[in-house]
Amino acid sequence: MKDIFSKQSELYARYRPTYPPELFTFILNQVPERNMAWDCATGNGQTAKDLAPYFKMVMATDISEKQLSNALSISNVFYSVQAAEKTDFEDNSFDLVTVSQALHWFDFDLFYKELNRVTRNNGWFATWMYGGMTVSPQIDDIKQDFHNNILGPYWDPERKLVDTNYVTIPFPLKEISCPIFSLNFEWGLEDISGYLNTWSAVQKFIMDKGYNPTVEIVEKIRKHWAKEKMTIRFPLYLRMGQVLK
């Protein structure tokens, strides 16, 4: 698994979208046993925090110690620096394993082998990602041009799996049909700027060119910004399946 987000961990904690309650309601409705969950590639513990009220214990791992340093302290959430593909968890430990906005960075063969080892028979795996934000036709065009043309060469190849909404990611489980969810936020320009700066391609552009390309893009967006805060929408795509042994 690649460590992409350590350098912008504070921005990531502050500006990455949070996930809707409806997502967790759907996931938890499939999981009758709720002793232990593993939130893999937890980042700043965003998903682990949402799982904590429903499980006796949540193990939350990430390869970035810096990301974990921004995680919230919760009594039944236990953080550790571990790779997704190789952990020190015991066999058959978890009723639910989650990966949010990160599966595309994994070595799939090794991760699914580890998932099968640490998940209980009939346990569940849920992974999700959000698509591109939409604001207004004019702002959406600016954002898309920035994403495709200015940042195009700086996206990692794995990013293509996000652009296809995870439908091309291997999923060797007993999969169920899942609805498409929606993330809706009221954001100001500062939030837009902060979110754009969490993009891995932006950080690679800065390292290569020596300046931040989001400054110019935010100024272009400002010309079409209608009020102090505008509604931002992201589609959220979930894949969920059962581990059968």
- Residue 70 and residue 185: Cα distance in Å, rounded? 22
Which residue from 111, 129, 53 is spatially nearest to 243, judged by alpha carbons? 111
The predicted structure's pLDDT at residue 5:
46
- For residue 98, CA distances in Å to 122, 126, 134, 153, 241 come to 15, 5, 26, 30, 11
* Residue 4 belongs to a domain: no
* Residue 145 belongs to a domain: yes
Q: Looking at the chain, how many residues does it have?
A: 245
Count of domains forming the chain? 1
Biggest distance spanned by C-alpha atoms of the chain? 56
Say which CATH number the domain at 92 has. Answer: 3.40.50.150
* Residue 15 belongs to a domain: yes
The predicted structure's pLDDT at residue 114:
99
Enter the pTM of the model. 0.88
* Residue 100 belongs to a domain: yes
**Assigned token pair, 11:** 């921005």
Beta bridge partners of 94: 119
The predicted structure's pLDDT at residue 198:
87
The predicted structure's pLDDT at residue 15:
59
* Residue 138 belongs to a domain: yes
* Residue 181 belongs to a domain: yes
* Residue 3 belongs to a domain: no
pLDDT in tens, the chain (245 residues): 544 444 455 665 565 678 999 999 999 999 999 999 999 999 989 999 999 999 999 999 999 998 898 888 999 999 999 999 999 999 999 999 999 999 999 999 999 999 999 999 999 999 999 999 999 999 999 999 999 999 999 998 888 898 899 999 999 999 999 999 999 999 999 999 999 998 989 999 999 999 999 999 999 999 999 899 999 999 999 999 999 99
Give the Cα-Cα-Cα angle 28, 180, 32 (nearest 5 degrees). Answer: 10
**Contact present, 39 and 61 (Cβ < 8 Å):** yes
First to last CA, the chain: 25
- Residue 189 and residue 192: Cα distance in Å, rounded? 5
* Residue 1 belongs to a domain: no
**Assigned token pair, 88:** 């020190």
- Residue 79 and residue 68: Cα distance in Å, rounded? 7
Give the Cα-Cα-Cα angle 22, 191, 166 (nearest 5 degrees). Answer: 45
The predicted structure's pLDDT at residue 12:
57
**Full domain range(s) for residue 215:** 9-243
- Residue 207 and residue 203: Cα distance in Å, rounded? 6
The predicted structure's pLDDT at residue 148:
95
